[in-house]
Amino acid sequence: MNAVPRVLAIESSCDETAAAVVDGNRVRSSVVRTQIDVHARFGGVVPELASRHHLGAIATVVDEALAQAQCSLDALDAIAVTEGPGLVGALLVGVQYARGLALACDRPLLGVHHMEGHLFSACLGDDEREPTPLAPHVALLVSGGHTELVAVERLGRYTLLGATRDDAAGEAYDKAAKLLGLGYPGGPVIDRLAREGDPGAVALPRGMADRDNFEFSFSGLKTAVLVHIEQHGLPPSRAALADLCASFQAAVVDVLVRKARRAVRRSGLGRLHIVGGVAANAGLRAAAAAAAQQDGFVLVVPPLRYCGDNAAMIGAAAAARIEAGCAPSVELHTTSGLDDARQQLP
Ligand code: KG4
Ligand code: ZN
């Protein structure tokens, strides 16, 4: 056993086939093969195609991760895999491949909750950034499938403060982009256009913003974009499109930051981590940085390479679980939350 657990991790919950080798929170290699091109023409992820492409890519991606880390299977302490939540067929490819590998090289296999992986993305280090331990914090988890505020006391001690009642923030971006004919995934393209536009140009609703809770709602915002298009047609110029994107982004960022800073204040934890694909959003990062400065809390956002789905975060979470004495187990699941009893430590 290495001083810090060395883990080969696999992630295949949605449309990225990823593998990584980590020493605890230090990334030795991280390979991500995205399927965006496969799904883009359908305007969203097609589950059956995702499974098939994971199957085609997984062996090469794992071999690349091992080669880049200059690591043989013998040098590993454990293998980790995302066990859920995600698309069942896609998860199955990673889980079965990891089971086979673990059996072949006689190493323990740990299943990791995808969102616990995202929590560890804020702790990852590499040649450009020092790894950090998991400190108590409020996490704003914002991805294609989740929008949640979670109080993280320590590994396995997660209290859900609030979540979205309908669409996730990333999903809202993807749906708005589809309405505007901007393709999939919508987040990066709306984010780029928003930089050129006026966030006050179009009045759009801020769902649940005034409610004194930590819940979110983004479906009304999506409907408001649809109604705007029905009334005014698709934006006739790049400037008009940029204005609509900037207004949309302001509406999303406004509620996310408003509720996150309130959660930090009430929790007394003094620290906010923003993780998940939407953490890459430039508007969100800037607004959160301004709030952190004003309120005096510590803000951590992972570098862009660890915001979207990757396996390094899964490996780091598994390494922490090994160090905490968790027994190896994998239980494929598609919907469970971070506060599920299965995430608690023994
Ligand atoms: O964490 P992630 O890679 O996969 C899931 O676990 O869902 O998140 C993907 C989501 C997509 O909805 C995508 O549109 C969104 O993250 N996203 C962004 C940006 N980059 C990715 N949303 C807003 N701004 C971005 N720059
Ligand atoms: Zn994710």
Position in ligand 1 atom list of the atom nearest CA 145:
7
Structure confidence by residue, pLDDT tens digits, 225-237: 999 999 999 999 9
Q: What tokens were used for 150?
A: 């979670």
- Average pLDDT of span 130-146: 96
Q: What is residue 154's predicted lDDT score, i.e. its pLDDT?
A: 95
Our answer on whether the CB atom of 14 is closer than 6 Å to any ligand 1 atom is: yes
- How far apart are the C-alpha atoms of 283 and 290, rounded to whole Å? 11
CB 235 near ligand 1, within 6 Å:
no
Residue 87 beta carbon below 6 angstroms from any ligand 1 atom: no
Of the listed ranges 24-28, 54-58, 224-228, 324-328, the least confidently predicted one is 324-328
- Kindly state the average pLDDT of the residues 316-345: 87
Check for a shared fold between 6-129+306-343 and 137-302. Answer: yes
Q: Tell me the pLDDT tens digit for each residue of 43-102.
A: 889 999 999 999 999 999 999 999 999 999 999 999 999 999 999 999 999 999 999 999
Question: Ligand nearest 218 Cα, by number?
Answer: 1
Ligand 2 center to residue 277 CA distance, Å?
A: 6
Q: What percentage of the chain reaches a pLDDT higher than 90?
A: 89
**Strands of the chain, DSSP E:** 6-11, 16-23, 26-34, 78-84, 109-113, 137-142, 147-154, 157-163, 271-275, 298-300
Atom of ligand 1 nearest to the CA of 184: 14
Strand-pair category, 147-154 with 298-300: unpaired
Atom of ligand 1 nearest to the CA of 146: 7
Mean residue pLDDT across the chain: 95
pLDDT > 70? residue 341: no
Q: Report pTM.
A: 0.96
Q: Check if 185 has its Cβ closer than 6 Å to any atom of ligand 1.
A: yes
Burial 241-253 (b: 16+ CB within 10 A, else e): bbbbbbbbbbbbb
What is the per-residue pLDDT across 292-321, written as a single tens digit (0 to 9) for each?
Answer: 999 999 999 999 999 999 999 999 999 999
Ligand 1 geometric centre to CA of 324 (Å): 30
Q: What is the pLDDT of residue 342?
A: 67
* Distance in Å, CA 325 to ligand 2 centroid: 25
CATH architecture of 6-129+306-343: 2-Layer Sandwich (3.30)
- 253 confidence band (pLDDT: 50, 70, 90): very high
Which ligand is closest in space to the CA of residue 87? Answer: 1
Q: Model confidence at 16, in pLDDT bands (50, 70, 90)?
A: very high
Q: How does pLDDT run across 191-243, given as a tens digit for each residue? A: 999 999 999 999 999 988 888 999 999 999 999 999 999 999 999 999 999 99
Distances (CA, A) of 173 to 142, 178, 186, 227: 11, 9, 5, 16
Does ligand 1 come within 6 angstroms of the Cβ of 86? no
> Which sequence spans correspond to the domains of the chain?
6-129+306-343, 137-302
| Domain 137-302 homologous superfamily, CATH | ATPase, nucleotide binding domain (3.30.420.40)
From 35, 167, 173, 274, the mutation candidate for ligand 1 (largest count of ligand atoms within 8 A of CB) is 173
